Amino acid sequence: MGIKLYTKKGDNGTTSLLSGTRVPKTDNRIKAVGVLDELNSFIGLLVSKFDDDLMFEKLQWNLFNAGSMVINDNNTELIEVTDADVTNLEENIDSLDALLPPLKNFILPRGDEKVTLIHVCRTIARRAEVACIEAETNPIIIKYLNRLSDYFFILARYYMKNGNISEIIWKNK
């Protein structure tokens, strides 16, 4: 018989950081990892809606790397999110933005199923960014998540345009 999935160690409301130190599951670092995991899961759902490769797998790896960085309380050597990952997102944003008309107004987050799911990922990325700020984590993670939400925004606009779906301008009436 293999190793059991459950350990019962968390039954008292605690979990482990990378060093093995037990902390409450309400610790801001654990909350941040939870939001990163939620975003990663929604990206997994997003992957199921696309036939083409849009670097989603790299995003998922980076989110796991970010999560391990958040709970790394003993300076274990890890694969980390880097400035190069931020630059990669910026290059993708710029490439997509060059294909779109300039945005002069706020738009409603809507479209077909793909586009709305991209917007869900965008909003979770923003929440993950705030959670990582509250966890006082490595600034590169915060920068990465900030760009990631921008990437999802421009990606949603790109698929709106390619799907001939009109953007609805928000009007503060």
pLDDT at 146 exceeding the cut of 90: yes
Distance in angstroms (rounded) separating the CA atoms of residues 33 and 37: 6
CB 126 within 8 A of CB 148: no
CB 135 within 8 A of CB 31: yes
pLDDT tens across 80-136, in order? 999 999 999 999 999 999 999 898 888 888 889 999 999 999 999 999 999 999 999
Q: Write down the pLDDT at residue 57.
A: 92
Q: Write down the pLDDT at residue 71.
A: 96
pLDDT at 170 exceeding the cut of 70: yes
Q: Is the pTM of this model over 0.85?
A: yes
pLDDT tens across 26-62, in order? 999 999 999 999 999 999 999 998 877 667 999 999 9
Domains of the chain: 22-70+80-162 (1.20.1200.10)
